[in-house]
């Protein structure tokens, strides 16, 4: 479990928030459970390093808030529209036995062991994330789809993924598709037989010879016409 250092902030005005950000911090809020919401701040450098890690928004963090430790789940990050820098973050306080709803990423493994992919099949991913209802202490980091021995025409539905105990998809009543392994979209044309290739070459050569003879004949006719025009009237008689 990753950890994060949070400090209590007492900002009340927009100017104080701007000063907090200019000093390299990002304001945030810890909410949920029976305790009151806490206004906190986190180092922008630390936050950006955590955001870059895989599945940041679905991983529980151990937050140290002024010496007190509690588990939190990053829920929402707001960014500056111009600089794309984080400017605010919400943390959900994790309470044992409570349920949370969040999107869990889907990970595909063993691509090299799929006969369908080896034959040029295409993996069409319908859902890269699946929204699940989970116990706060039992959140899966990812949903794994194994491609080993999977051939063209097969599909993966939510029922084919083993979910932890008391973890259920928010979509109920249908076995929705996660991905399919489809046939290749471009079919490679078979190579032409050697005989057909030779015949094609011979045809090209014959056509080129005929065109050369035709051009030569046209040139002779043109030269003859020019010579006739150069003759005097007496010579033409």
Mean pLDDT by 10 residues, the chain (237 residues): 89 93 95 90 94 84 89 92 94 86 91 94 94 86 92 93 90 94 72 55 55 56 55 50
* Torsion angles phi and psi, residue 85, rounded to 5: -90, 145
Q: Identify the pLDDT of residue 230.
A: 54
Q: Which CATH architecture has domain 3-94?
A: Beta Barrel (2.40)
Instruction: Indicate if 100-182 has the same CATH topology as 3-94.
Output: no
DSSP, res 193: P
Average pLDDT score, the chain: 83
Whether pTM exceeds 0.95: no
Sign of CA dihedral 41, 44, 50, 55: positive
Coil, strand, or helix at residue 220? helix
Tell me which residue of 80, 76, 26 sits closest to 56, measured CA to CA: 76
Domain assignments of the chain as residue spans, ordered by start: 3-94, 100-182
Question: For residue 158, what are its two tokens?
Answer: 């939510």
Residues 115-170: pLDDT tens digits? Answer: 999 999 999 999 999 999 988 878 888 899 999 999 999 999 999 998 888 899 99
- Quickly list H helices, the chain: 14-22, 44-51, 115-118, 194-230, 233-236
Q: Does domain 100-182 have CATH number 2.170.120.20?
A: yes
Question: For residue 62, what are its two tokens?
Answer: 């151990």
């Amino acid at each position: 479990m990753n950890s994060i250092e949070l400090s209590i902030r007492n900002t009340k005005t927009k100017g104080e928030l701007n000063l907090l950000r200019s000093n390299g911090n990002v304001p945030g809020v810890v909410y949920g459970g029976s305790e009151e919401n806490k206004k906190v701040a986190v180092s922008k450098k630390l936050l950006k390093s955590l955001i870059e890690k895989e599945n940041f928004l679905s991983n529980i963090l151990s937050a140290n808030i002024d010496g007190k430790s509690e588990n939190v789940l990053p829920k929402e990050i707001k960014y500056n529209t111009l600089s794309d820098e984080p400017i605010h973050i919400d943390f959900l306080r994790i309470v044992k036995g409570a349920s949370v709803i969040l999107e869990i990423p889907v990970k595909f493994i063993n691509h090299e062991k799929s006969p369908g992919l080896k034959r040029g099949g295409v993996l069409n991913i319908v859902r890269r994330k699946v929204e699940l209802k989970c116990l706060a202490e039992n959140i899966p980091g990812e949903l794994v789809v194994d491609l080993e021995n999977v051939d063209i025409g097969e599909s993966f539905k939510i029922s084919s993924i083993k979910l932890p105990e008391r973890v259920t998809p928010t979509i109920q009543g249908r076995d929705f598709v996660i991905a399919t392994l489809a046939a290749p979209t471009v079919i490679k044309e078979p190579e032409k037989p050697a005989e057909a290739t030779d015949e094609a070459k011979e045809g090209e050569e014959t056509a080129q010879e005929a065109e050369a003879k035709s051009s030569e004949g046209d040139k002779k006719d043109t030269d003859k016409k020019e010579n006739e025009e150069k003759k005097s009237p007496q010579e033409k008689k």
